[in-house]
Amino acid sequence: MVEFHMSQLAKKHQYTHWTVEEMLSIPAEEISSPGQLCADPRVSVILMTRNHAPYLRQALESVLCQVTSFSFEVLLGEDHSTDHSITLCHDLQTAYPKTVRVITAAKQVGITANFLRLQVRARAPFVALLEGDDYWTSANKLERQIELLDNNPDWAWCGARTLNRIHPLPASESYGLSEVSRRFVVHTSTIMYRRKALNIYPRFPDMVGWISMVSIVLSQAGRCGFLDETVSYYRRHAGGLYTGANTLHRIELAQAFTDVMRSHLANRYDKELFDRELWICSWELQLDPQTFSLQLWIYRIKILFSLIAPRLCLRMPGHFLKLVSNVISQPLRVVYFWKRNKKSSV
């Protein structure tokens, strides 16, 4: 079980940050062609990958097909994959020496360290993010987002819509720290930010929810602009860092994120953070008539009262009781759906 305690977090993480020197000390070997790279990129695309060999070429090509009025570079962060991703990275760098820089190492460094060693080596004033199993669907993504941030100098970052992922908040011109604390306002594959906003970075624990932590830090530097256009595709597959985890582990990760952020934000956004946690729990325990079983239902009940109730029952009693009602009534709703479908098929 993932456990973080507030007293330990306050002592370990508050007021403690990665320095540039420490980011540069993360194991990293660069494979690039310095003499051929563009001299003054406007955007550095951080493309993080581990065991994404079946998808990596499509991800990179979706970046390379961008139509821009400026130059950009791609930092391919390969985190010691067990498939042939590193070989593919070598091939892609050889094929695109003017754009691609590969950053790797002889050992795995983890999600956060992989991101930070790329962040510190990015040469452009703007950074765009993409993971190796997703891809961009709009050839104008970078141009449109640069325009958005240029027109709004007080915004620290921006995002957009993503295919295969529900946008959890009503569309808005921009989002502040309160909204970002409550929901995943934009997907990783749509994010662009001002590089200087992350010149220093808190020493958060290495977790799958790293991008939510990045989003919080960026929102402390400025608002998140929203481009109400679809620019990327989120690929769901068993090997994905989040979609490949099971229900119990995903709820534990949500709870760990809440505890880390409560410490980081000095309890100023507790209401929003617990609302986010309950929202995730509701999604994880929701009914799926196609896969419903009594064994699965009993498992959900156990999670609800042993893991979720101690944290949320008193903090959010009304919303928690609604969640209890939804989970307990699942067998009745399955019977209703089954009878309705049987009647309609006659």
Divide the 346 residues of the chain into consecutive groups of 10 and give the mean pLDDT of each group: 37 68 96 96 98 97 98 98 96 98 97 96 98 97 98 98 90 97 96 95 87 96 97 77 69 94 96 97 88 90 96 96 95 83 68
Number of helical (H) and strand (E) elements in the chain, helices listed first: 14, 12
Per-residue pLDDT, 227? 97
| Residue where one domain finishes, among candidates 184, 201, 233 | 233
Asked whether residue 242 is assigned to any structural domain, the reply reads no
180 and 78 in a common domain: yes
Asked whether residue 1 is assigned to any structural domain, the reply reads no
Per-residue pLDDT, 239? 53
Rounded CA-CA distance 300/25 in Å is 44
Residue 231 contacts residue 137 (beta carbons within 8 Å): yes
203 and 266 in a common domain: no
Beta carbons within 8 Å of 43's beta carbon, 6+ residues apart? 68, 70, 72, 73, 124, 126, 127, 128, 142, 146, 192
Per-residue pLDDT, 336? 78
| Residue where one domain finishes, among candidates 200, 233, 266 | 233
pTM above the 0.85 mark?
yes
278 and 157 in a common domain: no
225 and 256 in a common domain: no
Long-range CB contacts (< 8 A, 24+ apart) of 295-298?
A: 297/327, 297/330, 297/331
192 and 104 in a common domain: yes
Per-residue pLDDT, 16? 86
156 and 88 in a common domain: yes
Residue type present at position 247:
T
Q: Provide the residue range defining the domain that includes 315.
A: 247-345
| Residue where one domain finishes, among candidates 210, 233, 256 | 233
Q: What does the block give as tokens for 277?
A: 């946690």
283 and 225 in a common domain: no
In the chain, what's the furthest Cα-to-Cα distance? Answer: 72
Asked whether residue 163 is assigned to any structural domain, the reply reads yes
Residue 132 contacts residue 49 (beta carbons within 8 Å): yes
Per-residue pLDDT, 246? 85
